[in-house]
């Protein structure tokens, strides 16, 4: 249980203030549904100012777009209810598809909202076409009013900016990165702890980009330094990739050639001493540059030559480790420089363009989510039309809402069930307010005091991560149920019960659709991510595509992050899959290297490498399709034999890469299939104790 | 036969009554099926349950209007 601090209380007071302000203005302007203005304040309010700004922007865009679509549909199909409902269902489906595809980008909210706004505005408008335009405009105005109040309050009164949060997060991430680097270099990264650390680091590094997007909304200096943040994230991800590689190579070497491992100890320890001691804050140290450069030079001068590698095959992993140590030192220096630039708000002169942060997109998953929304709206519409139930329109609207907002989850049923539970609670609260409290209210001030005991605690919960998602429907639906207006009307229990029942029926229909059409849940997502990893490797090995290392790495880390957040590291098979995913990243890097280097070598060696790539491509496709996998991939052994017999340019790199691929395939048979019987190619095995 | 159900002064359509009756039978039947292990033979339990409910509901309605 998270203890709320003063920040959360402040946030709650701010949110409540903004809601009251919005409600007051809406009453003063005599708008038809002041409720929507108040509801919007609670929807967009988040602890960080940039997040409010981003959500507000897309709520405005989504609402206006949804209202426009609603009016178009009403205009086009006012005479034909089935056509109207079918096109509405298709629109909601298309919007859910887009929003699931955009994943956590702020624009995803806009896409989702424009889908169900079309239902919220369109259905009442279609029932009364003559007031349709006023109704749509009214909703837009009320929502813009709510957005205005929320943004104003969040920016003006003690703002907490995403820029600050970003800087804090950068520091925390870098300290964790330093910790883990030190553990890897000292060989202290025990498997379980290492995996937990990696999981946290990867998710922190991935989330930096999200914070950066929000920070551009509220911190001008970060907007200017946006490129710096992207570079920083890119370097951090490369650092992770290097560490994964070093960690695995060191483990291999410890097992196969302890003497070589011992010989590397001194340089590993000295590299670790570059990092700040545990618990120390990061400092900018001007002398670091020279020391780091010295270390890199030393690592390069100690690289085993080709003759060493032919003479003693066990020195191949040594070469790999030393190369990565050189990269590690360079990357760490660059990370510290970038951090300095970000904290001081300097604009660094960055020679190359920022690495693209490529995210993985799952089109099939988005299509499924979209069609669930469409089906839910169609099913409830059919029920509404055939039963002649007047309030059935709320069921249609809410089935669309619930399928839109929860469609992106792996397993939406528990969240939807929670939504249903919270809505029932809010209906009870609404009944208390409507029939016991509100009749004795005689002015705006007493109304505010009546809301205070409910919305202050609600605001505190809204600011707490995790809990906020659970309680949001409680507060929001209460506002929706109350339907405050300037016109005082006698509360009527029958119509209240009827409309609440319709709303709950809509949510229930959404749950039913999720259960019927998406029964697989998390397991299905994990399977899809796994196939995505294999497809990426297949594309890398394929002949035509030239994929950039950065794009591949950033997409892979995004996938790995998605995978890690769904797996349980205490289950042996799931832990194995987590490790295999990291190994897949390294296999990918080596494939890129093999492909690049094969352009510079003589014909026969290049043919051997091409055969390796073709064999791997076929192998990854077989794995992905689930067809029976064949053969021990002899091409790798053949290529190594050819290269060892005939030195060509960059032969050291090629050999290292081939051995790396071979050992990864052997170590991670759960992902790559039982194809390699030993970690190293046949010809080298004589040098290794098998 | 078709008349509104009076529940504490709130009038409900008759369909509501059939739906509630069907739900009751359905809950009992589901417990029995789960106890007898029949769900092990079912490929898609949610789909099976939904279909089962619809069947019970239509039996209830047919029974009344027979």
pLDDT at residue B66 tops 80:
no
Chain B nearest CA to A273, separation (Å): 58
Mention every residue, 6+ apart, whose C-beta is less than 8 A from residue A369.
A96, A97, A100, A403, A407, A408
pLDDT at residue number A319: 84
Q: Within 10 Å of residue A548's Cβ, how many Cβ atoms?
A: 12
**Angle of helix A572-597 versus helix A226-256 axis, rounded to 10:** 100
pLDDT at residue number A689: 40
Instruction: Say if residues A414 and A106 touch (Cβ distance below 8 Å).
Output: no
Which residue matches tokens 């506002």? Answer: A479
Chain A nearest CA to B36, separation (Å): 23
Mean pLDDT of chain B: 82
Nearest to A516 among B11, B13, B47 (CB): B47
Chain B nearest CA to A501, separation (Å): 11
Q: Which residues pair with B12 in a beta bridge?
A: B5
pLDDT at residue number A348: 61
Are the beta carbons of B46 and A515 separated by less than 8 Å? Answer: yes
Instruction: Say if residues A481 and A427 touch (Cβ distance below 8 Å).
Output: yes
List chain A residues with CB under 8 Å of B15: 387
Question: Which two tokens mark A677?
Answer: 């019987």
pLDDT at residue number A688: 46
- CA A292 – CA A270 distance, rounded (Å): 10
Are the beta carbons of B46 and A516 separated by less than 8 Å? Answer: yes
Mention every residue, 6+ apart, whose C-beta is less than 8 A from residue A502.
A389, A391, A392, A393, A394, A395, A398
- CA A271 – CA A284 distance, rounded (Å): 17
| Residue from B11, B20, B46 to probe the interface with A (highest A Cβ count within 10 Å) | B46
pLDDT at residue number A164: 83
Question: DSSP assignment of A332-361, as one string?
Answer: HHHHHHHHHHHHHTPPP--SSPPPP-----
Q: Which residue of B has its CA nearest to A390?
A: B13
Are the beta carbons of B10 and A519 separated by less than 8 Å? Answer: no
Tens of pLDDT along A153-204?
988 888 888 888 888 888 888 888 888 888 888 877 666 677 777 778 888 8
pLDDT at residue number A349: 60
List chain A residues with CB under 8 Å of B7: none
Are the beta carbons of A494 and B10 separated by less than 8 Å? Answer: yes
Tens of pLDDT along A608-635?
888 888 888 888 888 888 877 666 778 8
Nearest to B15 among A387, A494, A512 (CB): A387
Q: In terms of C-beta density within 10 A (0-12 exposed, 13-18 middle, 19 or more buried), how is residue A312 classed?
A: middle
CA A445 remoteness from chain centre = 43
ipTM value: 0.79
Which residues of chain A fall short of a pLDDT of 50?
A: 688-690
pLDDT at residue number A470: 85
- CA A608 – CA A380 distance, rounded (Å): 61
Inter-chain Cβ pairs, chain A and chain B, closer than 8 A? 18
CA A21 remoteness from chain centre = 34
List chain A residues with CB under 8 Å of B10: 493-494, 497
Tens of pLDDT along A34-53?
888 999 999 888 888 888 88
Are the beta carbons of A497 and B10 separated by less than 8 Å? Answer: yes
Alpha carbon dihedral A490, A491, A495, A501, in 10-degree steps, equals 160
Q: Which residue of A has its CA nearest to B8?
A: A494
pLDDT at residue number A484: 75
Tens of pLDDT along A191-229?
667 777 777 888 888 788 788 888 888 777 777 777 788
- CA A649 – CA A638 distance, rounded (Å): 18
What are the angstrom distances between the C-alpha of A274 and each of A178, A336, A361? 10, 12, 38
CA A473 remoteness from chain centre = 23
Are the beta carbons of B46 and A387 separated by less than 8 Å? Answer: no
């Amino acid at each position: 249980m998270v203890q709320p601090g003063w920040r959360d209380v402040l946030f709650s007071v701010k949110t409540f203030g903004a809601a009251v302000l919005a409600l007051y203005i809406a009453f003063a302007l005599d708008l038809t549904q002041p409720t929507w203005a108040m509801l919007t304040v609670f929807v967009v309010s988040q602890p960080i100012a940039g997040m409010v700004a981003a959500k507000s922007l897309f709520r405005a865009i989504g609402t206006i777009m949804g209202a426009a679509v609603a009016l178009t549909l009403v205009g086009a199909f006012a005479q034909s209810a089935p056509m109207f409902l079918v096109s509405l269902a298709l629109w909601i489906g298309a919007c859910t598809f887009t929003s699931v595809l955009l994943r956590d980008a702020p624009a995803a909210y806009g896409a989702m909202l424009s889908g169900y706004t079309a239902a919220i505005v369109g259905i009442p408008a279609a029932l009364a076409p003559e007031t349709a335009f006023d109704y749509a405009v009214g909703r837009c105005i009320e929502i813009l009013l709510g957005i205005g109040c929320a943004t104003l309050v969040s920016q003006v009164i003690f703002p907490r900016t995403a820029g600050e949060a970003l800087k804090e997060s950068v520091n925390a991430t870098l300290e964790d990165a330093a910790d883990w680097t030190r553990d890897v270099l000292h060989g202290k990264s025990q498997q379980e702890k290492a995996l937990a650390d990696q999981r946290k680091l990867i998710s922190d590094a991935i989330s930096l980009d999200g914070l950066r997007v929000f920070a551009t909304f509220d911190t001008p200096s970060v907007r200017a330094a946006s490129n710096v943040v992207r570079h920083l994230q890119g370097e951090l991800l490369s650092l992770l990739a290097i560490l994964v590689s070093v960690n695995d190579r060191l483990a291999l070497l410890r097992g196969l050639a302890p003497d070589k491992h011992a010989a590397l100890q001194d340089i590993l320890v000295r590299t670790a001493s570059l990092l700040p001691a545990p618990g120390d804050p990061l400092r900018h140290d001007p002398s670091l540059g020279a020391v780091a450069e010295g270390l890199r030079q030393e690592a390069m001068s100690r690289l085993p030559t080709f003759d060493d590698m032919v003479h003693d095959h066990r020195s191949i992993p040594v070469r790999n480790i030393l190369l990565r140590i050189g990269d590690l030192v360079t990357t760490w220096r660059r990370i510290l420089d970038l951090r300095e630039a970000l904290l001081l708000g300097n604009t660094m002169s960055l020679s190359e363009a920022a690495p693209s942060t490529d995210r993985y997109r799952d089109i099939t998953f988005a299509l499924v989510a979209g069609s669930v929304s469409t089906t839910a709206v169609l099913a409830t519409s059919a029920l509404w039309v055939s039963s002649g139930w007047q309030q059935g329109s709320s069921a249609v609207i809410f089935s669309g809402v619930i399928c839109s907002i929860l469609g992106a989850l792996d397993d939406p049923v528990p969240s939807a069930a929670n939504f249903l539970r919270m809505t029932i609670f809010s209906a009870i609260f609404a009944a208390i307010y409507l029939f016991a409290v509100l009749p004795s209210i005689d002015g705006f001030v007493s109304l505010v005091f009546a809301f205070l005991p409910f919305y202050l605690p609600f605001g505190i919960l809204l600011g707490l991560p995790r809990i906020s998602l659970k309680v949001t429907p409680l507060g929001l639906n209460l506002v929706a149920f109350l339907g405050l207006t300037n016109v005082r009307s006698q509360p009527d229990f029958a119509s209240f019960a009827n409309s609440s029942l319709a709303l709950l029926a809509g949510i229930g229909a959404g749950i039913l659709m999720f259960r019927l059409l998406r029964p697989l849940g998390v397991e299905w997502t994990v399977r899809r991510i796994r196939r995505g990893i294999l497809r990426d490797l297949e594309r890398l090995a394929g002949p035509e595509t030239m994929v950039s290392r950065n794009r591949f790495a950033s997409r892979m880390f995004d996938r790995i992050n998605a995978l890690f957040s769904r797996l349980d590291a205490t289950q042996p098979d799931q832990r194995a899959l987590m490790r295999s995913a990291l190994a897949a990243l390294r296999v990918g890097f080596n494939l890129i290297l093999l492909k690049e280097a094969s352009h510079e070598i003589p014909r026969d060696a290049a043919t051997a490498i091409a055969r390796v790539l073709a064999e791997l491509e076929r192998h990854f496709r077989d794995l992905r399709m689930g067809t029976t996998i064949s053969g021990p991939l002899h091409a790798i052994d053949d290529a190594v034999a050819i290269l060892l017999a005939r030195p060509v340019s960059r032969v050291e790199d090629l050999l290292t890469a081939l051995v790396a691929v071979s050992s990864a395939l052997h170590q991670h048979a759960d992902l790559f299939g039982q194809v390699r019987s030993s970690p190293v190619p046949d010809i080298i095995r004589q040098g290794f104790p098998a | 036969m078709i008349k509104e159900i009076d529940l504490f002064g709130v009038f409900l359509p008759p369909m509501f009554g059939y739906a509630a009756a069907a739900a009751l039978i359905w809950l009992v039947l589901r417990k029995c099926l789960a106890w007898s292990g029949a769900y092990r033979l079912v490929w898609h339990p949610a789909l099976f349950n939904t279909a089962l409910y619809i069947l019970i509901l239509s039996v209830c309605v047919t029974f009344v209007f027979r």
